[in-house]
Chains A and B, each alone.
Chain A
Amino acid sequence: DGGITQSPKYLFRKEGQNVTLSCEQNLNHDAMYWYRQDPGQGLRLIYYSQIVNDFQKGDIAEGYSVSREKKESFPLTVTSAQKNPTAFYLCASSAGTGYQETQYFGPGTRLLVL
């Protein structure tokens, strides 16, 4: 899982509640990403950030929000507008310096709805 940490490992959300997933990296990477993984499926991109104070929507950004105030941190908030939030959430980072980059993943956070 390299130098990327995600917390918590499990997170429970009540109806109408916003929850925030943490992602921290010590790899000095410029780019960071959030993915959602549903059972038996591949990863879908929620948001990504190529540099501090800048981020772009991915394929499934509705109901999610992010911030990138520090290079090391890229928290994801799952808002009450996300009606089906139960999934495995993965954070990743890459160096952000070229076009043949690999991504390094954290261990993931599993979000469950009560």
Chain B
Amino acid sequence: SQQGEEDPQALSIQEGENATMNCSYKTSINNLQWYRQNSGRGLVHLILIRSNEREKHSGRLRVTLDTSKKSSSLLITASRAADTASYFCATARTGSARQLTFGSGTQLTVLP
């Protein structure tokens, strides 16, 4: 089942702008992760935020988690054309931490 749902489904911005993607989920979680997928390739892990954390940073990435609203957001600052990809959130449910449930993704296009 698709626990995580990303919003928007597609996002197009100019290089240098910030990109924000949102993820909602349904059940209690152990952690939430964000992955990136270039077209036709495998996924690459970006960042993991634990259920007891509210915000996490990694380079140009900022992730927030609101467990009361069962939602997360991924912010990419100062976007580059190379950031063009699909971005997926994945949740590790409480009690089955190694099983990740992926959302349907946000397709980000950064225009040069």
Contacts and interface: CB of A to CB of B under 8 A. Distances in A.
A15 to B, nearest CB: 26
Interface string B28-69: 001101010000111111001010000000000000000000
A105 B44 contact: yes
B33 A102 contact: yes
A53 B86 CA distance: 34
A78 B55 CA distance: 41
Contacts of B33: 102
Interface string A15-44: 000000000000000010001000011111
Contacts of A42: 2, 4, 88, 102-105
A55 interface: no
Contacts of A90: 42-43
A99 B97 contact: yes
B11 interface: no
A103 interface: yes
Q: How many A residues are at the interface, by size bracket?
A: 20 to 34
Given A42-B4, A43-B102, A1 B41 contact: yes
B98 A96 contact: yes
Contacts of B4: 42
A100 B48 contact: yes
Contacts of A50: 98
B57 to A, nearest CB: 17
B37 to A, nearest CB: 8
Listed residue (A92, A96, A100) with the most chain B CB atoms within 10 angstroms of its CB: A100
Given A90-B43, A102-B33, A105-B42, 8 more contacts: A31-B98, A40-B105, A41-B104, A41-B105, A44-B102, A99-B30, A102-B48, A103-B43
Interface of A: 1, 4, 31, 35, 40-45, 48, 50, 58-59, 88, 90, 92, 94, 96, 99-108, 110
